[in-house]
Amino acid sequence: MERDRLETYADLIVKNGLNLDKGQELLVIADLDQADFVRMVVEKCYQAGASRVVVEWHDMPMDRLHCIYQTPETLSQVPAWEIARWKWRAERLPALLWLDSDDPDGMAGVDPAKRAQAQAARFPAIKPFREATENRHQWCIAAVPGVKWAKKVFPDKSEPEAVEALWEAILTAARANGDAVANWKEHNETIHRRSAKLNEYNFAALEYHSANGTDFRVGLLEQGKFCGAAEKDLSGRIFNPNIPSEEVFTTPKKGEAEGLLVATKPLSWQGVLIEDFSIRFEKGRAVEVHARKGQAALEKMIGMDEGAAYLGECALIGADSPINRMGVLFYCTLFDENASCHMAVGRGFNECVRDYNKYSLEELRELGVNDSMIHVDFMIGSEDLSIDGITRDGEKIPVFRNGNWCF
């Protein structure tokens, strides 16, 4: 990929994605695949005023070996240096950048139960630190192409051609062509206009219908709000947590979800691909799942903890979104979630409650913000999807028709 296009993308990540304070610290978590690009981003962060950048190189093939060969006990431990790193994050609130390039099939051959159990065992040690950072710093997830990921998306191309094609798709999806900063100004305004309108209605519920079998209703918090694109942290810093980001989303009310959701795209979870699946909800809880492929992983996923079977996100994206119209299946949630309306099981978003910082964590849980160690999106958008908003007075307002926004 041409260097000036990579520079544009790197600038977008540093300026719009992170928007660092002068003197702020930064944690970068990156795979090994595009080290030159990671270095370019790190240099730009220093030039933007970062006082210290800490790079954690992550390698899924190595994680795979650890999962296969370590005992469950060893795999479940949280080493002291990891706790020390979390303490730094909680105390100094460095911005967080995650540059993802994982192979969607990278964990094939690993026992999902062994991995999930270790993750569950590790979670209590990490949870307090994660909560201490929540909404207190800027964070951004963006992607770079890894060879295996690129071959998954473009299996008929040679490795270098596939990587180049995936770069092209990533840059297009990220609106990083031309004047990326101007693109994102306009884009942030459209998203904010739609979420403002939804927040005026303050719907009690949304109802979903599609010929694919989806027939579903989800309850919304009276104190809730829809968010999207640029966000503000508690100290007022504006940042774009996802590049790309097409969604308008909120946190649903725990306990109010009824009916069937039929997934319209595959889901990659912990390196396992789950395909052609549906989830049926009763009283907010996933009570039945069916998958043509990946049934065990899907069951494991919603069984990770008590909250893993409840919803934590409800997101709206028009079928005419650029990512959907590109017609590329990325096998990566960051992109595929922006092609399609979706839900997530697991942890909800405190920041989707108005004035959320006036509530304690316990109060937010009581309002109906779900809690879990996981947060996993799955896609339910289709070309014929209808969504109606149900007002607190019981009035029905069209929100989506034929897969697209009504406003």
Q: Under the rule (CB under 8 A), what is the footprint of a second copy?
A: 32, 35, 38-39, 42-43, 46-47, 50-55, 57, 59, 61-62, 65-66, 68-71, 74, 79-85, 87-88
Pick 56 or 363: Cβ nearer a second copy: 56
Would strands 139-143 and 95-100 be described as parallel, antiparallel, or unpaired?
parallel
Pick 42 or 257: Cβ nearer a second copy: 42
Coil/strand/helix, residue 378: strand
Pick 39 or 325: Cβ nearer a second copy: 39
Question: CB of 351 within 8 A of CB of 369?
Answer: no
Torsions phi, psi for 124 (to 5 deg): -60, -30
| Residue 155 C-beta: closest distance to a second copy, Å | 21
Pick 92 or 209: Cβ nearer a second copy: 92
| Residue 212 C-beta: closest distance to a second copy, Å | 41
> Which CA distances in Å does 68 have to 104, 108, 158, 245, 374?
18, 10, 30, 35, 22
Q: Using CA atoms, how far apart are residues 80 and 86, in angstroms rounded to an integer?
A: 10
| Residue 50 C-beta: closest distance to a second copy, Å | 8
Coil/strand/helix, residue 114: helix
The 3-state secondary structure of 286-327, one letter per residue = EEEEEEEECHHHHHHHHCCCHHHHEEEEEEECCCCCHHHHHC
Pick 79 or 155: Cβ nearer a second copy: 79
| Residue 37 C-beta: closest distance to a second copy, Å | 12
DSSP state of 265: S
Pick 146 or 294: Cβ nearer a second copy: 146
Pick 74 or 391: Cβ nearer a second copy: 74
Find all residues with CB under 8 Å of 57, minimum gap 6, and list them: 30, 31, 32
Pick 79 or 236: Cβ nearer a second copy: 79
| Residue 270 C-beta: closest distance to a second copy, Å | 19
Burial class (CB in 10 A: 0-12, 13-18, 19+), 341: buried
| Residue 74 C-beta: closest distance to a second copy, Å | 5
Question: Locate tokens 């978590």: which residue?
Answer: 29
| Residue 52 C-beta: closest distance to a second copy, Å | 5
Question: Locate tokens 């990891």: which residue?
Answer: 82
Nearest to 405 by CA among 183, 173, 194: 194
Q: Using CA atoms, how far apart are residues 365 and 380, in angstroms rounded to an integer?
A: 26
Pick 49 or 213: Cβ nearer a second copy: 49
Q: Which helix (H) or strand (E) holds 163?
A: helix 159-173
| Residue 170 C-beta: closest distance to a second copy, Å | 21
| Residue 46 C-beta: closest distance to a second copy, Å | 4
